Structure 1
């Protein structure tokens, strides 16, 4: 039996209304399947010719169009995304050498410069700023074949636990649109959890990757400072405030894929680390045995009020490592001077970065940032020096402690995601919380050490809000942190899932609960 002219046959089939409907259904189902893929699976599918880069990009652009009006995670779309995807498909058709992220969509936190694409830092001070060059991480992701879909929302200059600002308003959590997505990489967290991209870049000073990972049921890495170069910046020799970039994803294998592209020295960043041969993809495979490794469960670390459900979920997560052959015991080091250290180191950074803007245009700042800069300006040089001395002694306590353990596991935040009409949870575990940072000092506990840290999910509260935990590894052992997270995911795959989002009854973000003290510019 002959097959006839295939093109004519195809035209005849597609001309039938019923078949058109069926084809649209198949295309829609395929697009939905793509949205569930990891970045690693996406890269493999495009490399194998299962999907084109344009088809994948279109699926995510459609998802953003459908979901973002309610979630408000993507603040500035990239109009050139489809053009970049077409270029990937052209290179593939021309049999050019493949690249590791060919066709993989990604999003970028709106404090990271993107050439030709507005970068506001969530501040009216920079509302119309368009950078002339990419930050090194964006440059590397693009060079690896990644497709930049746009920028993600952030609190002003990334200094809040809730993602809201005067330009774009409030980002909502896809697990519950009435609670926060966290901060300061909350836009990146909500976007990945909502399947607007399989990969997003965040930054982390005091928890800004880890907190949104915890609140949105994601995994991500705060790398060793210098592992991922940071450029452009006015503070290339920065040692007082170690603000680092890292990936936020749904699956640990994608941390490995991203770090294989992002890590490595760059002469434009004098603090960047030399290549020491870490194999991030192997570390993220889930096949590295953990038997014999030692884990300290830190509990509240002596610094945070702890919600009982959070405490229970994190301890249960830590105990999972016993089934992986690890020894797990409750232990911690002395953290009693943590607040004194943070006051000086964070204050130095606030003054260095924002004092000039504060002097000229403080009326454009959000109240949380204004208050933080005001307090920091009261610090003396002696205060900063004292904090650095305390920090050095603190490091040696941690170093000595880590001689007995391969990992420390602890809560990222003392509470689950809180309501959008709260600036922060005012009561946690029956304890009053007077300052927004008090609920996430557990993240800062390790930020000031520079140790590599993975964030992983550890379950949901009874009312369905995500809770995460942090896995802290030894100095420079980013691969070890990833190994632990990968083994944990392999043993607990059901924990690594995204929410089923029902937007049918959700109000648009402009009508949503708004954090006190932030009025949105219309």
Structure 2
């Protein structure tokens, strides 16, 4: 029996019912990692205590304790989230020996719910790239095609789920860092509302300009809802968490009809987002499926006028505040991508940042009627499927050159800057057999609307939620190896 193929819900119920143990599940996860991680490079640091932690879960059950929501479920945590006693590198040589004393809140909550930490998921340096690679661990590769990227910045998390190492991973999202890897790896990802999943430790507790969040990545909507039932809810250490609404996630997972729902569907944001025809075709097919479930569909383009300036200005706050000092002290150890972003931000003035926030209000007033008049907005999650690892960006999309980092992320940033909850689900495969995804954009204070629509969609089309057969024979090219300094995939 391939336990690694089970969903998180199946794993937890099996432990609760005595059909298998937490140790069985941890052993299955570690065996799967041994089988595929050398090629996929999703998990950068294994937890040496994973089997001990699983044994503690089993001992608790044998003592008669009630089963918890995630009893025995293996999970991984993105390597920019603190794990007590387990190395947390942020994908940077400047943090390669960093071992935190505390768990982040999401780790605390997953452990308290019975989850078993298998390890840390790879991340680009300080989680600031659309490709997951760094000078410590090298690139995470896409399980659907090892010549292609797993996306970023939660690419290790996405690849760990898609390759079957774990059914649950935690990622982070600012400009699509959960959503892009979810789409590229053919899995489910949730950009939570800011504060929905509390964040601590945090250098900037309010984080009002950049809207950075933590969220789950899984193989199914039901597993996302299960994870959110554990992760969500206020914590006094995160001031943002005290003003959000925690929905009934189990009820969200049970929705099967979209009758009465009104969905605004957006193809390419009036041409602002370069979009591959194959991605657009799969998105249109997904919308037809939503209509068949009873949803009312309105096709309408959404202008992204001013969004680049908003993103540049608001990101500058975080880039300068978090990384300018690191660049000054450790430039030679850092990836060029991060250095370029910080130096670009340093060229901006305080007036630029203020004007970006002003334009964000203008943008909000333009998009707000759509968020209130419709139950959700549906768009392609990305403009492309996963691109080749030897490209820092896709060279061309839909006949249009891609020259700038933000070109690939505008569809995601369109909703980051208004603090919306967004679920990503698979929409199909390209002719090359690569996954594509749609993003379902819900409200600002709750993930309920996005998850309800995603759950109904999944229940009607479970065939879209599958794992790939991984061709482990595909080598890592010298061109890719050279891009980050000759690391060795382990």
- Identify whether the pair has TM-score above 0.5, normalized to the shorter chain: yes
Q: Which moved more, 1:180-189 or 1:312-321?
A: 312-321
Q: How many residues align?
A: 487
**Distance in 2 of aligned mates of 1:250 and 1:265:** 26
Q: Deviations over 1:321-345 (max 9, x none)?
A: 1101111121133311100100100
Task: Report the alpha carbon displacement of residue 318 of structure 1 after superposing the two structures with TM.
Answer: 1.7
Q: Deviations over 1:278-336 (max 9, x none)?
A: 1012101244x320111111111132111110111112112211101111121133311
2:258: which partner in 1?
A: 290
2:434: which partner in 1?
A: 465
TM-score (norm 2): 0.97
Task: Report the alpha carbon displacement of residue 520 of structure 1 after superposing the two structures with TM.
Answer: 3.6
**Structure with max Cα Rg:** 1
SS of the residue corresponding to residue 88 of structure 1 reads: helix
Q: 1:275 to 1:300 in 2, by over 3 A?
A: closer
2:408 to 439, 452, 455: 439
SS of the residue corresponding to residue 241 of structure 2 reads: coil
Q: 1:407 to 1:124 in 2, by over 3 A?
A: same
2:275 to 295, 306, 324: 306
Contact 2:258 2:453 in 1 (8 A): yes
Q: Deviations over 1:242-298 (max 9, x none)?
A: 1100000001000110000000011111111356451012101244x3201111111
1:350: which partner in 2?
A: 319
Q: Which moved more, 1:77-86 or 1:274-283?
A: 274-283
2:342: which partner in 1?
A: 373
Q: 1:67 to 1:517 in 2, by over 3 A?
A: closer
2:387: which partner in 1?
A: 418
SS of the residue corresponding to residue 198 of structure 2 reads: coil
SS of the residue corresponding to residue 360 of structure 2 reads: helix
2:362 to 374, 393, 410: 393
Task: Report the alpha carbon displacement of residue 204 of structure 1 after superposing the two structures with TM.
Answer: 0.3
Contact 1:155 1:162 in 2 (8 A): yes
Contact 1:209 1:222 in 2 (8 A): yes
Matches within 5 A, 1:9-408: 30=1, 32=2, 34-274=3-243, 276-287=245-256, 289-302=257-270, 303-408=272-377
1:514: which partner in 2?
A: 480
**Distance in 1 of aligned mates of 2:304 and 2:171:** 27
Contact 1:193 1:250 in 2 (8 A): yes
**Distance in 2 of aligned mates of 1:447 and 1:72:** 28
Contact 2:47 2:86 in 1 (8 A): yes
**Distance in 1 of aligned mates of 2:481 and 2:290:** 38
Contact 1:73 1:153 in 2 (8 A): yes
Contact 2:77 2:119 in 1 (8 A): yes
Contact 2:263 2:376 in 1 (8 A): yes
**Distance in 2 of aligned mates of 1:276 and 1:241:** 20
Task: Report the alpha carbon displacement of residue 104 of structure 1 after superposing the two structures with TM.
Answer: 0.4
Q: 1:358 to 1:58 in 2, by over 3 A?
A: same
SS of the residue corresponding to residue 260 of structure 1 reads: helix
Q: Which stretches in structure 2 are left out of the alignment for 5+ residues?
A: none
SS of the residue corresponding to residue 239 of structure 2 reads: coil
Q: 1:442 to 1:193 in 2, by over 3 A?
A: same
SS of the residue corresponding to residue 165 of structure 1 reads: coil
**Distance in 2 of aligned mates of 1:466 and 1:172:** 14
Contact 1:333 1:401 in 2 (8 A): no
Q: Which moved more, 1:425-434 or 1:272-281?
A: 272-281
**Distance in 1 of aligned mates of 2:445 and 2:313:** 25
Contact 1:264 1:274 in 2 (8 A): no
Q: Which stretches in structure 1 are left out of the alignment for 5+ residues?
A: 1-29
**Distance in 1 of aligned mates of 2:14 and 2:370:** 44
Contact 1:423 1:516 in 2 (8 A): no
**Distance in 2 of aligned mates of 1:249 and 1:492:** 16
**Distance in 1 of aligned mates of 2:371 and 2:71:** 39
**Distance in 2 of aligned mates of 1:512 and 1:484:** 43
**Distance in 1 of aligned mates of 2:246 and 2:124:** 36
